[in-house]
Amino acid sequence: MDMIIRGIRIEAEGIRSFEFVPADGGALAPWQPGAHVQVALNAVTKRAYSLCNREQDTDCYRIAVKLESSSRGGSQGMHQLQVGQRVSIDAPRNAFALDDKAQRHVLLAGGIGITPLLSMLHALRGQGGAAVLHYFVRSAGHAAFVPEIGTHGHVHAGLDAQATVAALADIVARDAADPQTTYYVCGPEPFMAAVESALQAAGVPSERLRSERFGSAPAPKASAAPAAAGGATEAGVFRVRFARCGSEFDVTPAQTIIEAARASGLDIPTSCEQGVCGACLTDVVDGNPEHFDAYLSDAERAGGKMILPCVSRCSGRLLVLDR
């Protein structure tokens, strides 16, 4: 979609929000809370950002971007955009949906992880749902959207790691025994890990946690493919077949599936290429995927029916993908 930047706001230290409206004045593709869009900054740089719209923002997509010192072009490029500029955006996709069976929702945000949870909070408030947001930030100056959060959220500013763990344990304990409560988490990896540990310690089953990761996924293990009989070839090479077009190619230990596909002139849409965003999600027709992403749930991994080919591999000789 060809979009125009209607507004840019400084929301907190290092965080800007952007409102995009259709360049042709047409309607926006529908979306649900937790959805993200991919913003193409140029021909090669595409980044996924969660929508953080308010209920009244039905005519625009709103995202917020934190300027990362380690930016590889995404956040720096975003922070250089100006009102009135055109950008291309893919239609929203959602891999972090609200649990419509839950009676109570506990939203746990770390830093810029507030964005998908803010749109969830707005939706739940609009529906009269029982929801509470806990927002952990480095300092009060790093807390974005505080007026919007209002009394429906608690900002925990300036806690060190130990205090964060203690606060999470306390928050989780309040609803741990209630099977109708679903927890949601988004934030930097240490925060995600702290939430997962708190839930585990409180005996909350993983089905009651929904999460969305950003940043670095576990590194792909190029040499992880087993060399034993029944596994990949001794050299760690496996073959991938695209079921729909019949194309086949080899993936060496030094390549990802995406890279090997490209080398064969085949294209799989990607964004993060770190196993985080879900843009390359592909159905598995046959073969045993070996997962190195941070996107699929434990149940989805165990099911073996989906793969993130930007990082994940095959533990056998042949992987057939629905491409």
Residues in the site for ligand FES, rule: CB under 6 A?
270-273, 275-280, 293, 295, 308, 310
Distance of closest approach, residue 291 Cβ to ligand FES, in angstroms:
11
Q: Which residue is listed with tokens 């793969």? A: 307
Cβ proximity to ligand FES: between 280 and 284 the closer is 280
Contact by Cβ (8 Å): 46, 87: no
Write down the number of H helices and E strands in the chain: 7, 18
Contact by Cβ (8 Å): 124, 56: no
d(CA 40, CA 78): 10
Distance of closest approach, residue 90 Cβ to ligand FES, in angstroms:
12
Distance of closest approach, residue 312 Cβ to ligand FES, in angstroms:
9
Give the residue ranges of DSSP H helices in 161-228: 161-175, 189-201
Cβ proximity to ligand FES: between 178 and 259 the closer is 259
Q: Taking the CB of residue 263, how many other CB atoms lie within 10 A of it?
A: 13
Distance of closest approach, residue 280 Cβ to ligand FES, in angstroms:
3
Cβ proximity to ligand FES: between 188 and 218 the closer is 218
Cβ proximity to ligand FES: between 15 and 257 the closer is 257
Distance of closest approach, residue 68 Cβ to ligand FES, in angstroms:
17
d(CA 220, CA 238): 15
Strands 181-187 and 153-157: unpaired
Cβ proximity to ligand FES: between 18 and 292 the closer is 292
- Give which of 129, 132, 212, 121 is closest to 171, Cα–Cα: 132
Cβ proximity to ligand FES: between 276 and 321 the closer is 276
Distance of closest approach, residue 98 Cβ to ligand FES, in angstroms:
22
Q: What is the DSSP string of 10-37?
A: EEETTEEEEEEEETTS-PPPP--TT-EE
In Å, how far are 249, 261, 322 from 265, measured between CA atoms? 10, 6, 17
Residue 206 DSSP symbol: G
Cβ proximity to ligand FES: between 12 and 279 the closer is 279
Distance of closest approach, residue 295 Cβ to ligand FES, in angstroms:
5
Contact by Cβ (8 Å): 295, 307: no
Which contacts qualify for 232-237: CB closer than 8 Å, 24 or more apart? Answer: 232/314, 232/315, 232/316, 232/317, 233/317
Distance of closest approach, residue 18 Cβ to ligand FES, in angstroms:
21
Cβ proximity to ligand FES: between 19 and 273 the closer is 273
